[in-house]
């Protein structure tokens, strides 16, 4: 997919970057990325994907912008209060980079529509704020054989990983699923919601930007990604650590007793 003269100038710092270059920028232009959530994580994620020149960005979010969102959801402004987040996000993308196509889904993901939406994209980035959606998205990506970047934030901590469980690792075993990392969701109420516990606004910016970096890396193909590795961020101690995790033979998707058909 060729680049116009305007795009060559727009993406000049990518094109001269070793590991990306013209071929990498063409891959970005050809890519279709689905972002789940246009909130705290989705805001910087969407902005950097648009600025990077991803060809099409799909956005799934059934919420509207509220005043309490604006402390961290920098994709939206005061004038967007009351608007659908996907509509506000679409306008922001157009303002950042009119070359990017946008598909807005003002829906809640369900078992009935998740796979139907995900199958149309090359890679998915999940910035949702609950385990129910994360399991739903990760299961759908497994069945549709789509790479998935997952970010999550707490009050002062966060995590990030990439999933490609439909492929085999260097050890000959399947790559881990999200259910290998978190076999069982926390009990209801065990983890307080953002509205109850709060969240550091700038932390969502850091993690959302790192999600965009991981998506771009997955598309272009440079460096070592986070498959089988969980990046842990502790802002109280300003510490970044990486924990390795592997395939669990008991997981219901690709485990030893998993069904052979979805």
Domains of the chain, residue spans: 14-244
Model pTM above 0.85:
yes
pLDDT in the model for residue 261: 46
Residue 151: per-residue pLDDT = 97
Best CATH choice for the domain 14-244 from the list 3.40.50.720, 1.10.10.10, 3.60.15.10, 3.90.45.10: 3.40.50.720
Give the per-residue pLDDT at 57: 98
The H or E element containing residue 243 is strand 239-244
Check residue 29 and give its pLDDT: 98
What does the pLDDT read at residue 194? Answer: 66
For residues 57 and 46, the answer to whether their CB atoms sit within 8 Å is yes
Name, in order, each residue with C-beta under 8 angstroms of 252's C-beta and a sequence gap of 6 or more.
179, 258
Which pLDDT value is given to residue 24? 97
Closest CA to 246 of 154, 184, 187, 172: 172
Residue-level pLDDT at 192: 65
Residues with pLDDT less than 70, the chain: 188-196, 259-262
For the chain, what is the total number of helices (H) and then of strands (E)? Answer: 10, 8
* Dihedral pair phi/psi, residue 125, rounded to 5°: -125, 120
Which residues are CB-neighbours of 46 under 8 A, at least 6 positions away? 35, 38, 57, 59, 75, 89, 92, 93
Q: Write down the pLDDT at residue 133.
A: 94
């Amino acid at each position: 997919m060729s680049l116009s003269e305007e795009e060559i100038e727009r993406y000049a710092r990518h094109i001269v970057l070793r590991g990306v270059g013209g071929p990498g920028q063409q891959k970005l232009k050809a890519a279709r990325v689905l972002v789940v959530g246009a909130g705290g994580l989705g805001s910087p994620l969407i902005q950097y994907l648009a600025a990077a020149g991803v060809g099409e960005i799909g956005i799934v979010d059934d919420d509207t912008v509220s005043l309490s969102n604006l402390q961290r959801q920098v994709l939206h402004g005061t004038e967007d209060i009351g608007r659908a987040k996907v509509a506000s996000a679409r306008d922001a993308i157009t303002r950042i980079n009119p070359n990017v196509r946008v598909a807005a889904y003002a829906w809640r993901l369900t078992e009935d529509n998740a796979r139907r939406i995900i199958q149309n994209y090359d890679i998915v980035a999940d910035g949702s704020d609950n385990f129910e959606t994360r399991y739903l998205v990760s299961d759908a990506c497994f069945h549709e054989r789509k790479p998935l970047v997952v970010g999550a934030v707490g009050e002062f901590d966060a995590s990030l990983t990439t999933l490609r469980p439909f492929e085999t690792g260097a050890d000959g075993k399947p790559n881990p699923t999200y259910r290998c990392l978190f076999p069982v969701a926390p009990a209801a109420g065990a983890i307080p919601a953002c509205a109850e516990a709060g969240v550091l606004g700038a932390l969502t910016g850091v993690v959302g930007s790192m999600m965009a970096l991981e998506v771009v890396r997955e598309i272009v193909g440079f460096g070592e990604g986070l498959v089988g590795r969980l990046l842990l961020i502790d802002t109280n101690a300003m510490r970044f650590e990486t924990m390795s995790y592997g395939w669990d033979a008991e997981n219901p998707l690709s485990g030893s007793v998993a069904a052979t058909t979805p």
